[in-house]
Structure 1
Amino acid sequence: METLQLKPLIARYMTASFNVNRIMSARLGKLMPENLTADQHQTLCYIHERGMCTSSELADTFFVGKSSITAIVKRLVEKDLIERIPDERDRRVTYLALTPSGKQLMLDVQLKIEQLLARYIGHFQETEILAFIETFEKLARLLISEEEEVTENS
Structure 2
Amino acid sequence: MNLESRIVYERYMAAFFKVTKRMYNELRNSLEDELTLEQYQLIDYIATRGEVTSTELADVFSVGKSSITAITTRLTDREILKRNRDESDRRIVYLSLAEYGKELHSRTRKQILDVISAYMVHYSKDEIEGFIQTFEKLANMMEKGSGES
Provide TM-score, normalisation by structure 1: 0.86
Cα 1:130–1:3 change in 2 (3 A) is farther
Counterpart residue number, 1:7? 6
Shift of 1:122: 0.6
Compute the displacement of 1:43 (Å).
1.1
The residue aligned with 1:114 is 113
Show the counterpart of 1:128: 127
Aligned to 2:40: 41
Report how far residue 49 of structure 1 moved.
1.6
Alpha-carbon deviation of 1:61?
A: 1.6
TM-superposed CA distance for 1:35, in Å, is: 2.5
Q: TM-score, normalised by structure 2?
A: 0.89
Name structure 2 gaps, 5 residues minimum. Answer: none
Post-superposition Cα deviations, 1:117-149, rounded to whole Å, max 9, x if no partner, equal 1111111122211211111111112122337xx
1:53 alignment partner, SS class: coil
5+ long unaligned stretches in structure 1: 148-154
1:1-150 to structure 2, matched below 5 A, reads 4-146=3-145
Deviations 1:50-98 (A, max 9, x none): 1111111111221211111111011100111100010111111100000
Tell me, in whole angstroms, the C-alpha distance in 1 between the residues paired with 2:138 and 2:53. 27
Percent same amino acid at aligned positions? Answer: 41
* RMSD value, Cα: 1.7
Structure 1 position 40, deviation (Å):
1.4
Q: What is the CA distance between 1:36 and its match in structure 2?
A: 1.4
Worse-superposed segment, 58-67 or 96-105: 58-67
